[in-house]
Amino acid sequence: MATEGPEPLPALDPRKTAFVVMDIQPLVFARMPSPPTDLLPSITAMLAAARRTGCTVVIVRVAFSATDFAAIPPTNKAFGRLAERAGGSAEKLGVLESQPATQVLDEVKPLAGEIEVRKTRTGAFSTTDLHEQLKAKGIDTLILAGVSTSGAVLSTVRDATDKDYRIVVMRDGVADPKEEVHNILLDVVFEHSCYVAKSSEIIEKLG
C-alpha cells in the first residue's frame, strides 16, 4: 500500500515572505558537538535569494543586557541554570549584548533596513516585537533557518503556528546537538505544521 509523501511546497510570494535566520552566533555554535559551519553556504545562498527576490530578511540573536540577565527567575530551568552558574553575571558568562560571542557571524550580518531582533529566551517571537514588525509588512509566510532545531527552530515553529503563519523550515539550514532529535523533528514533528524543504527548492519556489 502506497504511503503519502510530504506535502509539496507551494509557490511563495516574496512580498509576503520573510527569511528568518536565528542564532548564527559563536555563543550558540559553541554548544554544538562541532560548529555547524556546513550550514553557512546554504544559508548564505538563501539569504542572497531572499534579498534578490524582495523577501523581508530577519536576523535574530540571543543576547542579554545586565538587567535582562539579572531578572531571569530560578523557575526557568533552561535559562535559570545559566544565571545561577554565572552568579547572575551576564558578562562573566559572555552573553552580554555587546560581547563578541553574542554577535552574529559575518556571513549573516543584516544589511541596512533589514529587521534585527535581540531575544532573551528561546524562540524568535519570545521577548521581541517580531510579530508586530512582520504584520506591519504584510508577511504571512516564514522561511526558518538557524540553530538549534530543537531550540530556536522548534520554539519559533510552535509560536508561528499559533500566530497563523505559513512556515517553511530549511532542511539544509538547521542543525541540532542530537542528530536523532534533529531527524525526528524534520521528518515527523514538523510535517504537521510546516513544510520542510532544501534551500534549492525554496529558492525555486520564490521565482
pTM given for the model: 0.95
Tell me: pLDDT of 48 over 90: yes
Residue extents of the structural domains in the chain: 14-63+103-206, 64-98
Return d(Cα 94, Cα 64) in angstroms, integer: 10
Write down the residue that cell numbers 559572555 correspond to.
Answer: 94
Residue 167's pLDDT band (boundaries 50, 70, 90)? very high
Residue 4's pLDDT band (boundaries 50, 70, 90)? low
Q: With 0-12 CB in 10 A as exposed, 13-18 as middle and 19+ as buried, what is 161?
A: middle
Topology (CATH level 3) of domain 14-63+103-206: Rossmann fold (3.40.50)
CA separation (Å) from 37 to 41, 53, 58, 99, 205?
A: 8, 25, 20, 21, 25
pLDDT (0 to 100) of residue 5: 62
Percent of the chain surpassing pLDDT 90: 89
